[in-house]
């Protein structure tokens, strides 16, 4: 496979797979006929459309198999965000007399902003509990249990965090919700394809996934709705998806996702073996080579491909721009370009100190990454941090013991 190239023709070292992934060449090859000769509508009565309908059904079965679901429990959507909204709104509609949502402080905006929006929209009639996390990004199950009440309509807790990779015990949490008759949704957008998921053994009611996180294209998502769980469509229109989501299906996207799920199942061992080893080598090397660095997130309860490391007294965005010059793609929990100097809500919820949260970098790998690429990042990133620290008034002040004091460069005292 040809290596990715940047605009300048430089080889790209892509370690931003939690943002999006490369469409696998086998996935693309499976999709292409559905843009050319196989353009029929799967709902058509004629044979030409019917053959497409059969391939959509086969793809549905492949996707269901990866997560231990029945094919009829899957609804195709446009993305993870649509799946999240559909699930939470369906659960609320099923329980109109209940007004309480339980979620966490570290959800992706697809869930977090929806819950906050509902709270505002209904004049705070929808009470939202956002569970806190500890310094390692983990939830306290006793606190969770205490938050569940007679008024709780739905719990929405992510399977794995997109910034830190921390994995939550959603199956156990779903059981606790079920005992109290509460519907349970999980945003598994980052988990599907990276760790084993078997919904047949769980009582989870709704699960969201998104194609572009597992080497399928952007624009295709799935909502799993457990057989028997109450449901109301978000998009009302034609009879597609058994009346559960109107709109002509994204056929090529569905075929691509089917192939991607087949590949993910076959590569699960590699993801949890070779990719995890690469991630661990990268993480260990960075923490050893760079002083004043720290891991964000639980060391074990984590996706195999993700590491989030903070480098004190430097700015995450500056790190990314320097890495970009070497063709290295990563992301940061700091968002100065958005006009706010606030670090990510995830790192803030974890209580990561201000001086470290600003200098956080997320590196997320995939089966395409090589040891050579890890070695390149291990050579370049320490240089970048050293260079930025030379210019950082905070780094210098930290050595004089002034940060947080009367002479702190940010005038915080
Ligand atoms: N949930 C999580 C945990 C994510 O990481 C993302 C994307 O980054 C989403 C939801 C949204 O998925 P999509 O981009 O398919 O809408």
pLDDT in tens, 15-45: 999 999 999 999 999 999 999 999 999 999 9
> Which atom from ligand 1 is nearest to the alpha carbon of 81?
16
Q: How far is the CA of 205 from the centre of ligand 1 (A)?
A: 19
Residue 2 is classified by DSSP as: P
pLDDT at position 7 over 80: no
Q: Which residues pair with 131 in a beta bridge?
A: 104
Q: How far is the CA of 381 from the centre of ligand 1 (A)?
A: 27
Q: How far is the CA of 190 from the centre of ligand 1 (A)?
A: 7
Of 162, 164, 303, the one to substitute when testing ligand 1's pocket (max ligand atoms within 8 A of C-beta) is 162
Structure tokens at 303: 């996706």
Cβ 319 vs Cβ 359: under 8 Å: yes
Q: What is the pLDDT of residue 340?
A: 56
Q: How far is the CA of 186 from the centre of ligand 1 (A)?
A: 12
Mean pLDDT score, 204-219? 98
Share above pLDDT 90 across residues of the chain, in percent, rounded to a whole number: 86
Our CA dihedral for 221, 224, 230, 235, rounded to 10 degrees, sits at: 10
Q: pLDDT-derived band of residue 395, with 50, 70 and 90 as boundaries?
A: confident
pLDDT tens for 97-153 read 999 999 999 999 999 999 999 988 877 778 999 999 999 999 999 999 999 999 999
Q: What is the pLDDT of residue 338?
A: 45
Length of the chain equals: 413
Q: How far is the CA of 108 from the centre of ligand 1 (A)?
A: 7
Q: Is the CB of 104 under 6 A from ligand 1?
A: no
Q: Is the CB of 79 under 6 A from ligand 1?
A: yes
Q: What is the pLDDT of residue 393?
A: 80
pLDDT tens for 253-312 read 999 999 999 999 999 999 999 999 999 999 999 999 999 999 999 999 999 999 999 999
Q: Is the CB of 331 under 6 A from ligand 1?
A: no
Q: Is the CB of 186 under 6 A from ligand 1?
A: no
Q: Is the CB of 222 under 6 A from ligand 1?
A: no
Do β-strands 152-156 and 183-187 pair in parallel, antiparallel, or remain unpaired? parallel
> Which atom from ligand 1 is nearest to the alpha carbon of 161?
3
Average pLDDT over all residues of the chain? 93
Cα 68-70-74 angle, rounded to 5 deg: 100
Q: Which residues are catalytic?
A: 336
Q: Is the CB of 210 under 6 A from ligand 1?
A: yes
Q: Is the CB of 190 under 6 A from ligand 1?
A: yes
CA distance 103 to 89: 14
Cα 298-192-149 angle, rounded to 5 deg: 70
Cα 315-389-12 angle, rounded to 5 deg: 60
Q: Is the CB of 316 under 6 A from ligand 1?
A: no
pLDDT tens for 153-162 read 999 999 999 9
Closest listed residue to residue 63, CA positions, set 162, 210, 245: 210
Q: Is the CB of 188 under 6 A from ligand 1?
A: no
Q: Is the CB of 217 under 6 A from ligand 1?
A: no
Of 16, 170, 210, 219, the one to substitute when testing ligand 1's pocket (max ligand atoms within 8 A of C-beta) is 210
Of 76, 190, 192, the one to substitute when testing ligand 1's pocket (max ligand atoms within 8 A of C-beta) is 190
pLDDT tens for 216-269 read 999 999 999 999 999 999 999 999 999 999 999 999 999 999 999 999 999 999
Mean pLDDT score, 355-378? 96
pTM of the model: 0.95
Q: What is the pLDDT of residue 5?
A: 75
Name which residue sits closest to atom 13 of ligand 1, judged by CA: 80
Closest listed residue to residue 131, CA positions, set 344, 356, 354, 350: 350
């Amino acid at each position: 496979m040809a290596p990715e190239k940047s605009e300048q023709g430089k080889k790209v070292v892509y370690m931003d797979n939690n943002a999006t992934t490369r469409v696998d060449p086998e996935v693309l090859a499976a999709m292409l006929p559905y843009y050319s000769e196989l353009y029929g509508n799967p709902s058509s009565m004629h044979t030409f459309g019917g053959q497409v309908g059969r391939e959509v059904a086969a793809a549905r079965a492949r996707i269901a198999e990866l997560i231990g679901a029945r094919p009829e429990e899957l609804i195709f959507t446009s993305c993870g965000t649509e799946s999240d909204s559909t699930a939470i709104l369906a659960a609320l509609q099923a329980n109109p007399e209940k007004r309480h949502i339980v979620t966490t402080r570290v959800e992706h905006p697809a869930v977090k902003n929806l819950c906050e929006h509902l709270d505002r929209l209904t004049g705070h009639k929808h009470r939202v509990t956002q569970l806190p996390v500890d310094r390692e990004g983990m939830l306290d199950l006793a606190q969770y249990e205490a938050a569940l009440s007679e008024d709780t309509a739905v719990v929405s807790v992510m399977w794995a965090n997109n910034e830190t990779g921390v994995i939550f015990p959603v199956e156990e949490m779903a059981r606790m919700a079920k005992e109290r008759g509460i519907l349970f949704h999980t945003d598994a957008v980052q988990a599907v394809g990276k760790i084993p998921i078997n919904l047949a053994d769980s009582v989870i009611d709704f699960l969201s996934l998104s194609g572009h996180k597992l080497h399928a294209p952007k624009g295709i998502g799935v909502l799993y709705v457990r057989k028997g769980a109450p449901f109301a469509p978000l998009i009302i229109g034609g009879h597609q998806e058994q009346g559960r989501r109107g709109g002509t299906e994204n056929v090529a996207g569905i075929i691509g996702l089917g192939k991607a799920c087949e590949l993910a199942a076959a590569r699960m061992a590699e993801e949890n073996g070779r990719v995890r080893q690469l991630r661990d080598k990268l993480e260990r090397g960075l923490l050893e080579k760079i002083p004043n660095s720290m891991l964000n997130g639980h060391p074990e309860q984590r996706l195999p491909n993700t590491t989030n490391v903070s480098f004190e007294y430097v700015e995450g965005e500056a790190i990314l721009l320097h890495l970009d010059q070497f063709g290295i793609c990563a992301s940061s929990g700091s968002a100065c370009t958005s006009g706010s100097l606030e670090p990510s809500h995830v790192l803030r919820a974890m209580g990561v100190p201000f001086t470290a949260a600003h200098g956080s970098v997320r590196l997320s790998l995939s089966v395409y990454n090589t040891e050579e690429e890890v070695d390149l990042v291990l050579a370049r990133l320490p240089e970048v941090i050293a260079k930025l620290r030379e210019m950082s008034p905070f780094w210098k002040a930290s050595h004089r013991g002034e940060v947080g004091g009367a002479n702190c460069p940010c005038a915080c005292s």
